Amino acid sequence: MKNCPFCNQEVRETDKFCIHCKKPLLTFISQKEGSLNKSLQPYNYLQYEDEDQDEEFNISEIDSDVIDRKIRKISASLEAAQASGITTGDLLLKKASLYYQKRDLGTSAKIVELALNSFDSENDLMNVAICHNELGLIQEDIGIYDEAIYQFDRAIDILKNLGDSQKLIRTYNNIANIYHLIKDFEHSYEYYKKAIDLARKENLVMEEVKSSSNLVDVLFSFKNYDSIEKILDRNAFIFNQIGDINGTIITLIKYGKLNFHKGPNYFDKALKLFTDALDLVEKISERISIYSKSQLEWECYLYIGKVYYKRKNYEKAEINILRSLESLRTHEIEDSLNQALVLKLIGKIYSAKNNFIKAVEYFDLSSITYEKFGALYDKALVKILAAQDIMESNNDDSKALNYYEDALNIFQEQGYDKEVADTSQTLGDIYIKLNLEGIALEYFEKAKDTYQILKDKFNSQLVKEKIQSLKT
């Protein structure tokens, strides 16, 4: 006898479904969906699996010469198919997959579009949906997030009508991932919840587990730690039962993040969890591509670096954050919001080490990357960090003013009143230092008016006193 992982009631070893809660049991799932156990891709990259795919097209293969040979073979097959009037959509998708493995994302996208046109001409709606999904994943990798959302939306509309629940669940996850990346947590939560609800309705247990694992990242944003722990406990049990090493690694990483967010008393436990995850990644490193390996590693190094930063061990923090950046750049061909975050953290480490010039260099790189993706609020925050370090490094007030004023303009355009008030007050203080009292007074007046709108009595009074001092 054993216990059902859902309701914890006793069930027989031979049962396919729990007689109490009616959900399918994992012994049955592992036989029926064994390919899922072999999946070594992080759940944030839920591409559709081709169960009939020849072993020759193994995603783990990254040898450029081998891939080029496969591309030539498929190209020859395509020419023969075209000459015979045979449909080419499937071959085009395989060819696109090989260019994706080479990280030639532009070429991969163009070939998927050709496949899309081929399937569309045949009214093959399932493959049309798959092409839209794949284009969404490629656009996500490139960093064109609005186009990725558009492609996933197209896939979702088609899949709803076709009734393929598994692919619909995975596409819900893909679009939720994008919304999470751009910090639209409400939409991200909405789509993860749709995925989970549909998976439960259809008794697709592993899809529910994967979707709930992704949902954890949104719950971190809401600081809903109790729900996170419940999800991770259940997922850990399931992954352990079916021997899914990839799922175990993902869960260890998220347990580590949970303990980091719970505070300094849990940092030692967090470090152990991240180290355990890295050890497991190393154990399977010969079975996965360097891209998959780096996808699993980057957050481990990031949070290990964050722990050491919090503990003021800046040398170890620097080593690990730089490793995180290296891992990101291995599997992300283009810049990304994740890279912008890591660049900012490297800047903060150099700032803490009083290496202000180097800190500003990294803050500038982070700011440029944030701007590229339209994350203007984050860009403004980094501008302020850079301005502070510029003043610390060489007391170049004019350069610092430019950074502060750039940030202020962004806050005003985006409607961040608290930041407008704080930055205006800081600018007023700097202009007083430069003996430009008239300009200082203008900024203080702006700060005072905004604090009053915010009903911030303390800062409003503080700025009033500064204004009074200037007028007397």
User: What's the pLDDT at 373?
Assistant: 87
Residues 6+ apart with CB under 8 A from 142: 105, 106, 109, 333, 334
Per-residue model confidence as pLDDT tens digits over 324-354: 999 999 877 677 899 999 999 999 999 999 9
From 99, 98, 176, 89, select the one nearest 128 (Cα to Cα): 89
For the chain, the residue count is 472
Count CB neighbours of 9 within 10 A: 11
Residues 6+ apart with CB under 8 A from 442: 428
User: What's the pLDDT at 336?
Assistant: 86
pTM above 0.85, yes or no: no
Could you tell me the two tokens for 212?
Answer: 């709930």
The neighbouring-strand residues paired with 11 are 2
Distances (CA, A) of 14 to 1, 2, 19: 9, 10, 12
User: What's the pLDDT at 55?
Assistant: 36
Q: How far is CA 256 from the centre of its chain?
A: 16
15 DSSP assignment: -
- How far apart are alpha carbons 388 and 366 in whole angstroms? 15
Per-residue model confidence as pLDDT tens digits over 220-252: 999 999 999 999 999 999 999 999 999 999 999
- How far apart are alpha carbons 295 and 337 in whole angstroms? 15
User: What's the pLDDT at 62?
Assistant: 54
Give the mean pLDDT of 139-147.
90
Answer left, alpha or beta for residue 289, where phi above 0 means left and psi between -120 and 50 means alpha: beta
Distances (CA, A) of 311 to 14, 306, 356: 52, 9, 20
